[in-house]
Amino acid sequence: MFFAGAAGLVAFYLWGLLGLPGFGNYPGPYGPAILRVAVAQTQATGVVSAVNFEYRGFDTVGEEFILFTAAAGTAIVLRMLRGEGERSPVDEARDRDAPPTSNAVRTIALLFTGPVVVVGWWLASHAQTNPSGGFQGGVVLATAFILIYLAGAFLTFSKLSPTDVTDAVEAAGAGGFAAVGLAALFTGLPYLYNYLPLGQIPGAVSSSGTIALISFFVGLEVAAAFLLIVSELLEQTLLIRHGGR
């Protein structure tokens, strides 16, 4: 029955796809209009970021909070339940050794940590000049922490990202974005209005007003949310919980 339904649906979908305009035949007014006005209006040469964080910035608020909610949801589902304790696992089979993390993995992971931080930071803070931005930068930043875990240092990993702090950073990122938008209202401007000086040179790091600021907050939020989700999952796998209801 599933296959019959799926076949019917696919047929219907393909029937509709035949009506799509040809490749490269862009029908709408949106693209040309944005390309004409974006750089002049925002002084940002990263037009993708200008769309993300300015023209359609309100969508991005929503998307950011979806991630925020997802992280909170993970925390709810995987939280330590009342009466449960945690301990590190002890190998029950005493006659074999756990394979240690190989030196090659350690070296490479630690070697990459620094550059990854730099690249992530750069991505998150240069949205105005090229199509990077907080989403990509945040994910890369979170990777740096995961590299530390890969290098075999779970304890260092959890010390570097205690849940309360990650939570606070995540909230600061999400709330910061919403607050940047809200600040415009105090001067009677619409929500998310770009009220900061735009700078003189399109494509300069200091150009584009709120776009750069918002991208930075998104970077914070995304990095913290990923870190939170990963560390919840790691805790679930690496620590044994006992007791319970």
Partner 1 sequence: MDHLFALSVAVPLLVAAALVGVKPLLSGRRRMLDTVAVLTAASVAVMLLVIMVQTDGGDRVYWFAGFRPFRGVVIGIDFEAGPLSAGLAALAAVLVTASMVFSWRYFERVATYYHALMLTFLAGMTGFCLTGDIFDLFVWFELMGVSAYALTAYRPEERGPIQGALTFAITNSVGAYVSLSGIALIYGRTGALNMAQIGAYIGRHPPDRLVVVAFLLILAGLLVKSAIVPFHFWLADAHAVAPTPLCVLFSGAMVELGLYGIARVYWSMFGTALGHRAEISHVFLTLGVLTAVVGALFCFRERHIKRLLAFSTISHAGMFLSGIGLLTPLGLAGAAVYVAGHAMVKGALFLCTGIVLHRLGSVNETWLHGRARHLRITGVVFTLAGLGLADLPPFGTFLGKGWIEDTGSAHGMPWLMPVFVLCTILAGGAVLRVAGGVFYGLGDPPSEDERMARAANEETSETDADKRRTPLTMIIPPTVLVALAVAIGLTPLGPAADAAAVRFADQAAYNATVLRGAHVAHPVAPFAAEAAGITVSDVVTGLVSAAGALLLAYLALYWRRLPVLRRGYEPGTGLTTLAEGFQSGVVNDYVTWMVFGLACLGGVLALIIR
Q: How far is the CB of 146 from partner 1 (least distance, A)?
A: 22
Binding mask 72-101 for partner 1 (x = CB under 8 A): xx-xxxxx-xx-------------------
Give ∠ CA 183-222-46 in degrees, rounded to 5.
Answer: 70
Residue where the block lists tokens 């998150």: 124
Q: Binding of partner 1 at residue 172 (CB under 8 A)?
A: yes
- If the CB atoms of residues 2 and 93 are measured against partner 1, the closer one turns out to be 2
Which residues have CB under 8 Å from 236's CB, separation 6+?
78
Burial class (CB within 10 angstroms; exposed 0-12, middle 13-18, buried 19+) of 180:
buried
At 213, which helix (H) or strand (E)? helix 210-238
Structure letter (DSSP) for residue 131: S
Q: How far is the CB of 175 from partner 1 (least distance, A)?
A: 3
Which residues have CB under 8 Å from 75's CB, separation 6+?
163, 228, 232
Q: Which stretch binds partner 1 (CB under 8 A): 66-74, 125-133, 150-158, 199-207?
A: 66-74
Q: Binding of partner 1 at residue 182 (CB under 8 A)?
A: yes
Burial class (CB within 10 angstroms; exposed 0-12, middle 13-18, buried 19+) of 132:
buried
Quick one: which of 98, 102, 88 has its CA closest to 151?
102
Q: Binding of partner 1 at residue 183 (CB under 8 A)?
A: no
Q: Identify the residue among 111, 118, 155, 179 touching partner 1 (CB under 8 A).
A: 179
Which residues have CB under 8 Å from 185's CB, separation 6+?
191
Q: Binding of partner 1 at residue 7 (CB under 8 A)?
A: yes
Considering only residues 143 to 162 of the shown chain, the ones binding partner 1 according to CB under 8 A are: none
**Is beta strand 84-87 parallel, antiparallel or unpaired with respect to 240-243?**
antiparallel
Binding mask 26-55 for partner 1 (x = CB under 8 A): xxxxxx-xx--x----------------xx
Q: Which stretch binds partner 1 (CB under 8 A): 70-78, 96-104, 107-115, 138-146?
A: 70-78
Residues that bind partner 1 (CB under 8 A): 1-2, 4-9, 12-13, 15-21, 26-31, 33-34, 37, 54-59, 61-63, 65-66, 68-70, 72-73, 75-79, 81-82, 164, 167-168, 170-172, 174-175, 178-179, 181-182, 185, 189-194, 244-245
